[in-house]
Structure 1
Amino acid sequence: MVRFGDFNRICETVALTVCPLVGAEEGRKEIVMFFYLYMMVTTIELFLVSGIVPTASTPYPYFVAAHVGLITATFWCLLLNGFVGFQFAEDGTPLSLWGMAGFDPLRPVALWIVLYIFNGAALSIYVVLQIVLVLNTLDDRWPLGDILFGIAFYVIGQAILYIFSVRICDTAKHYIDGLFFGTICTLLAVMMVYKYWDSITKEDLEFSVGSKQNVWEVRELLGEEEYSNQGGYELILQKLGE
């Protein structure tokens, strides 16, 4: 049973990068920043979990600190992306683009709160905000599917990581564990974040995942009353002809 603020049970199941340090026994600038942060998290994680940086080496704590900080920054950036759609600040401004307590290796409660409570809350708020945004702003409900798939991939990845990791490791004779599949599921979840963002963004990106033009864009340009009175798609064709 996992206890609040306790990494022991977690580290017995999953080889997280922080485990050797916590006393455990074992389009837009905003979305681009999110992907950059995820890329940096993945890169540092590669150095840590592969053993390139040994756990007993002097640089290891610094790499772990950077890894944990970047994970939290990634969730924070995702949360801010959730607010961008509500136009709380102009896109690309410092406000729309963007602490941690002391760390005791024997009592890492603050670290536990940041990793699981803060990051989980940031992710949950982001999902709720996007569902509200789609339901209240868009006529197209397909973006909800992207959100649901992203949630599903992430939840499955976390379940594999924290529940089935030991079983997978034993079955595979220690050649692979849940961390591998959890990382893949996280990558798929990040891909769905992009797919969702692309589906609600006005820009016609060269490498756009979705090719369907949103009707709400036309309504915004023409006005609701003009759109409904003159017949939506006939008016669209007329405007395109001009």
Structure 2
Amino acid sequence: MVAFKYGEWDYICRVSPQPICSLFFRQLLVHPDRGEQAAPDAYLQLPAADPTAREAALRELGLGIRAPCAIPRMESVGGKPDALGNAANIVACCLSLFVVAGFIRKAFRRKAAVARVEILILLGLYGLLKFFEIFATGAFLEQGARAVVWLTALHLALVVCFFGALVWLGFLGLQLVEDGTPLSLGPLAASLAFLFIGSIYIFLDTGFGVTHYFSSQPASHLYSPWTFSLVILWPLIALTIYGGLTVLVAVRILGELKPVIVVLCSLMTLGLGEIFRWVLTQPICHSSDATVDGSFVASLLELGALGLVVYNWTCLTEAEWEEYNDLGFAFPPAHPLPMAQHPSRPPSLNTAPPQDPSYPPNHAYNPDPYRPQSHFQQNPHHVLEPSGDQQGPLVTNAFASQPASHLAYDPKT
């Protein structure tokens, strides 16, 4: 039996607190028509008659709505005594920022790499979304505050833009447009601007209920297909497109197996991280007495998936690739075959041309008597010494490199 339907956040916010739940919490706490002085919705189960008790409860609440286990707000900012907030995820996000900075430095130094500017934009978006995730999930601010809604909306909008940039990065592998040019950066900037403006408007309107179009009606239903599409459906679509394009480029164009293995590992790592974030967060929270949840494990696994994406991009821009002959798309061998063993060489060119009896045995025919003869024309059977990395003679007969008209002549003319 399905626990929830498309667009419903009630079950998710109870069993798997996510940043999106802060927007619905604001809907329930502050009705857009009655104002902040009115009592909150009964769905929150907060004291309605006593404002002081309600404020005291709000100061300690963590992420989610009526969650059985939630990390409380940290004591240093006025929260629950002895509480550290979501310290584990804060550390994981800070670690992600340092690692992403290293990725950006590495990508910036690859001046001639394909899609260098686009991968820098992707990494920059990931660093920004992790920065805002610290404030959206770190239990710094009081639940229902305006600042929480703004920071959560920024965080979620950057997530939407990140997956849009990931799709474009996969599309560039087809090389239908030249990377780093206005033909690539223009559509990328336009699509990111569209995604950011559109998504942040939907998230803000969901939290503040300005137009009542994107907010849940009534608020206690926690129903919003728009946010459900942006937060859950769009990342799945983007990952499918990116993975499909990467596999297509690797197998059909480059004939390589290595990028396919890397992209599959990155998708599996990301999927494992989402399992910790959405499914295992409550068991981890209960087992740790509301000290940590699954978000910090998810952040580390997402960082690992990003590292594999960067590694895959590095591999796709390498000058040389390993050969995979079993796929049928391998490159020519690194060392050329000897001329006499080349498969495309006609058999007739492997033997010396017939000599006319009227000519000296070591005299080569010169079709132009006014042009000096080259070394190979004077010595038609001279054999070049092979280099250290090749085997066999490079040239077995000087006439092999001459046009067919030079090989056939009439002694009478």
TM over 0.5, shorter chain: yes
Structure 1 unmatched runs, 5+: 204-212, 217-223
Residue type matched to 2:173 in 1?
G
Shift of 1:215: 5.4
Structure with more contact order per residue of length (Cα contacts < 8 Å, sep ≥ 6)? 1
Shift of 1:25: 3.1
Instruction: State the distance in 2 between where 1:112 and 1:50 align.
Output: 22
Shift of 1:143: 1.4
Instruction: State the distance in 1 between where 2:4 and 2:167 align.
Output: 26
Structure 2 unmatched runs, 5+: 26-63, 67-106, 108-115, 189-197, 207-213, 217-222, 324-328, 338-386, 390-413
**Residue in 2 aligned with 1:59?**
147
| Maintained 8 Å contact 2:173/2:249 | yes
Instruction: State the distance in 2 between where 1:60 and 1:94 align.
Output: 37
| Maintained 8 Å contact 1:14/1:179 | no
| Maintained 8 Å contact 1:146/1:196 | yes
2:286 is aligned with 1:170 = yes
The residue correspondences of 1:87-166 to structure 2 (distance < 5 A) are 87-97=175-185, 98=188, 99-100=198-199, 103=206, 104-106=214-216, 107-166=223-282
TM-score for the superposition, normalised by structure 1: 0.81
2:344 is aligned with 1:234 = no
2:324 is aligned with 1:214 = no
Instruction: State the distance in 1 between where 2:291 and 2:183 align.
Output: 45
Count of residue correspondences: 218
| Maintained 8 Å contact 1:22/1:108 | no
| Structure 1 segments of 4+ aligned residues over 4 angstroms from their partners | none
Question: Secondary structure of 1:234's partner?
Answer: coil
Q: Against the structure 1 CA distance between its residues 92 and 109, is the aligned structure 2 distance closer, same or farther, given a 3 Å change threshold?
A: same
More off after superposition, 132-141 vs 31-40: 132-141
Question: Secondary structure of 2:290's partner?
Answer: coil
Shift of 1:21: 1.0
Could you say which structure has the larger radius of gyration? 2
2:178 is aligned with 1:71 = no
Question: Secondary structure of 1:202's partner?
Answer: coil
Instruction: State the distance in 2 between where 1:95 and 1:56 align.
Output: 43
Q: Against the structure 1 CA distance between its residues 55 and 196, is the aligned structure 2 distance closer, same or farther, given a 3 Å change threshold?
A: same
2:143 is aligned with 1:42 = no
| Maintained 8 Å contact 2:22/2:152 | no
Q: Against the structure 1 CA distance between its residues 86 and 184, is the aligned structure 2 distance closer, same or farther, given a 3 Å change threshold?
A: same
Residue type matched to 1:105 in 2?
S
Q: Against the structure 1 CA distance between its residues 12 and 197, is the aligned structure 2 distance closer, same or farther, given a 3 Å change threshold?
A: same
Shift of 1:13: 2.5
User: CA offsets per residue over residues 133-165 of structure 1, 9 Å max, x none?
Assistant: 111122331111111110111111111221111
Aligned-pair identity (%): 23
Question: Secondary structure of 1:121's partner?
Answer: helix
Q: Against the structure 1 CA distance between its residues 95 and 171, is the aligned structure 2 distance closer, same or farther, given a 3 Å change threshold?
A: farther
User: CA offsets per residue over residues 23-53 of structure 1, 9 Å max, x none?
Assistant: 5734411111111100000000012211233
More off after superposition, 89-98 vs 125-134: 89-98
